[in-house]
Structure 1
């Protein structure tokens, strides 16, 4: 029993109601108020003593139930006996085995009439007390018991040996007297009397000092092999120099084992024999999200090799140390004849869910969360700049937004929180995440540009998230603006304006002049009133991570959006696989704040690491629960990664073996300033892979380039990409010594273009053949110098003497070589153009016939590209 035993567990162990056990503890002077309180070993011993004093007879019955009624002891004793003297002195080893069965005498006045339930409690408590003894005490008691038993057995064996020796000595003296009484005539008479039915005496056997030992089992002592008086006299004749014990040992005969005992021993019968199971054992195997093959084999009580064979038959190639997912483990468990069950190991998660559920209630009105979406360079950030009276767009690299910006604005019409998402094609996941966090989506479309690919993608994200849509037609101040065309193009994507009888508000505005921005805010607040947005303004805060980064001076920084409750300094929170205590809170202008309510974005400092963008955060009471939940999530994530990396299917391996040439690989180390940019870079660069080359991101993260990143790049011969981050001094030293390729970027499409160039350099040059001209053979002339000369007409392109040629007959290549001569009349020329006659001499080929075609081509090198 564990030292951390609660009253509830103790009651279940002794099969007693919890209330009754609490009453007994109180009577013993140990009042407890909660069944979940811990009972120490000292308190259990105290309760045991109290119940013994109160119920003596019950204690005696419990002792009788625990103590065995009968015990069988096996004892082996080995001695050396020296007999004879002088030259006849001999030393003999004697081994005596005994089996002693001790039966405990019955006692009157047992536990009859006592309460069986109390006796069971006493027995369980006694077992608990014995199990909690220290190993040293147990060993000491066992050694003492063995010493006492050994001493008792020794005394019994010595007494039995002395009695047996005395009996044998008397028999030996009687036999010796009978032998001495006979004389020589008597011996002759005995010899003559053999024919009258007298038994023949047994011959005397000579024994050496190292003769075979005789072993005896059970409580049987050594018995002299005496059949009758005459046989005894014959055997002891010539052995009078031996001691009585030696003569007894030499004459001992082993008693054969009864046939019934032999049959039981062979068949495994008896009290402790093996009984073959009558039916196969079916086990319930608890399986989590992932499990190693070795652990699964242990739960199945099978060899690991057998489980590996079963997986192989199912088409899964996994070693005994690899992890497999829950579905695969469940299938192989059923295949092996057992029943799989899902392991419930989410104790911390369950506690967290219960923790969060206690803070639910009726909420209050909250500000709306609005996400600005649209195509790149359609004026999303400029629109927010005018609302916030800032100039964020001018500070963005390349004039485009590359991460989610979160702001809250206090207007005359109320508070509104805005999320600005990038419009570049690589930031699809960011736009999807922004749509899920929001209450209203504002789709910005440039009046002079129209509906573009990212515009259509934003519409799809808004519909997938199920949030209302407001269209802001921007740049109406331009001369070529056409808002009507924008409405018509949106009709193709089922976005119908209110002017056309639909339910989508469309507002014309200019982010540059400010026209129509008030109308947009009115439309946003009107839509929020229709939605009736509510949330708890007090209590434990919950929300979502919008963006995260690693600041060199402040550590991990997470931009979060509070959705419920109030987030304050000093709160403990768990955020994905990270946890921590809020050390400081900052608003979007980097000013410290004491707290944040629903729909307000803030920056949080104090987490254990950089969380992933999109992770949920929950405030808890203490650090213990936050740490347990984070560690459990990290363990699950690690198991998932191991499952993805292991257990290859045989079909995949066969497909890899069937590839004609090995696929090239471009290894990259990508570090970015924020988590969203790192995620977008990882997805965009990995998408560049094709059948010829695979782009492999070996390291991806946020923060500056460290020495560890440089070492990883050196080991994998990777190119290092720094997106708005730089390498520190130690990393630069490793990069210089290893000759690594380090490139800094601030615009995402520059990264993609550069990686394409690097990948193209790895692919190398491709040699292609380009046909530059074709000549048709009209007639063949014979020349003593050149052999067969073909009179040809150039029908396509140009024929050059320095280029290789092919001879085609019936559009089939019959010869490939080069020209020996190319003449125009009697002059040698370098090339002959289309619709011009010429004479062609093919080198080392004289089988040219009229109607053949001579194809002139050239080989060119072309750079491979993605």
Structure 2
């Protein structure tokens, strides 16, 4: 056995180290003082002999009893009084105590010490034998591995040398022949390979599974070749080399290792989430989440929707890190994924054409002749009451038409951000000319930036004057091509069909110039043309597909509504399975009726569609789906600062045409290089609902000169907060617009020095810190104004005053020639000779002359 220290031996036998040292001294073993002194096996044997000898002597010398037991009994009486009668109770106390002889206790302790020493020696010997065996096994394994590697390397070299020798012999014996491709060699002339190929097959194992084997075969009695498993391939697979990031374990071990610490995940939490989805994101069972929430006092089910704050508390309670999603993160993610899916090849698409014009000028009749269907005959009074979407297959291509009840619906769609129309066909009756709604239609098409094609209808009537129509429209900046303009005029007759082909040619020609394209493959996006609630079918939405292909069964997100497309119908009511770009379809299966102009998009997961729909119905419903708020004259400057208004848009209405022209010229001349005044529309007459809708769509301010708005226009202006102003003096209009434009100019920020104080001395105060005794040499020192500390005319500190005193009084300002005490906030390095400069920041507004 190896030597041990005094401390180790004391711990092994389980006695104090001081006592062990005493026993060693009694046994005659000389041990240096200290716990690190070593004890050899000889010293331990000497100590053991001493202990045994002491026991024998104690037993021989002492024949007296080893234990003494003492018993004591005492009796006492207690007197108890109660109820007027005394009562005596006897109490007997018995005590018993046993004393053990000291020599016997020491003998037991020595026996226990001997046992522990023997166990310690045996355990130490066992550990040394185990270490020696492990070292021998490790050394043998290293030698075996090295020998196997040497044998494998020698075999490989021998095989390479043999292969090289055979190749050299074959090359020397082979005749020189021209190279022939492998395909040209017949099978009969193919040279058999010189290498011996191992025969591979399958055999049925005990469990019925087929095992792959290989080896050399021999013939059996039937002449067939028997297959045998070669050595080293008895059903075990070869060990594959270890890949990066993986650990190769032994055959008797498995690759799974229990995590040493719990895995903390970062859990993203949207605005609302179900209990099942929350459990899935934390990679735990839903029952554990329900149990945790029950412990927190919330009784929930697996499909219950919880809010973001509750979900964050649950995630923290279960040891994970919550990551709260911003309110628009999920929507941005879905829109980004939709745009990625649409990043495919673009193909030409059909144009979307809106037919507009005055009432009873033949819009629906013209479209009816193109579609070859009787739609106008079934309408109440022959007037279109709703928006209809149709796609027409012509000999020259497909065209999608939108038939609107005038231009108001088109403007409302634009006010919701819907850019639907590619081309506008303005229908004007040749016998009626340009009417008020015709002029308004021109204004709306220009505001939308959509090309215009004028269809002069009813040319079959005797009183038709197409040239007069051209002349009237020229006054509204609609100039025909044959007069040097850029607007195509086509004479048509919805009754006889004259000019219909020319009108379609003009539409297709305009679409070719515009090069309309869309992505046909991928997730579909579109826009809602109209929607309704059918008693038998539920919510029905007419959607115009703009990109991708909409298919039956897709999950559709439309504004604040969502759902799976259960059925689709075309404009004739025929069921369809899919719809490509520029195709309008009626969709069933939404959770509610969306608003006209809402964006429709196909989403991959119904859960995300539901979350976005609930989000839009909540906090940001007004921002995403409500009508855009019109500009006000008072807040034009603030909107300009936010980058929302690039110019000042005005819609001018006056009592006579002369006043209109004067206002247009005067207001347009107010434009400068920084601010532009744009007249969206102007005209004579009262302010109508169409004017308010146009102002709403264009963020324009409505100015009425000696005119008023009707009841419908007032109601729309109040509902949408449109700025409507009445004037009776033209100069008041010009002054107000000048003020608004001046507010749109960026103000200049100037700094004016209002006072200068010179530091004469510095006083130190335990409560106030450094107080500078100053003399105001110029201007006025104000306590509320910012300051600069100058040293040798160099700014060393900028801040503000903490205190300003005149003698013992706090004052707000000190004028020139007066002494004062100044305390600089958060700065105590003021020295005599420094200067304290007091200044003010002044905004100088720019004005328009």
Is the structural similarity TM-score above 0.5? no
Which structure is higher in RCO with an 8 Å CA cutoff and minimum separation 6? 1
TM-score range, shorter chain: 0.3 to 0.5
TM-score w.r.t. structure 1 length? 0.36
TM-score w.r.t. structure 2 length? 0.37
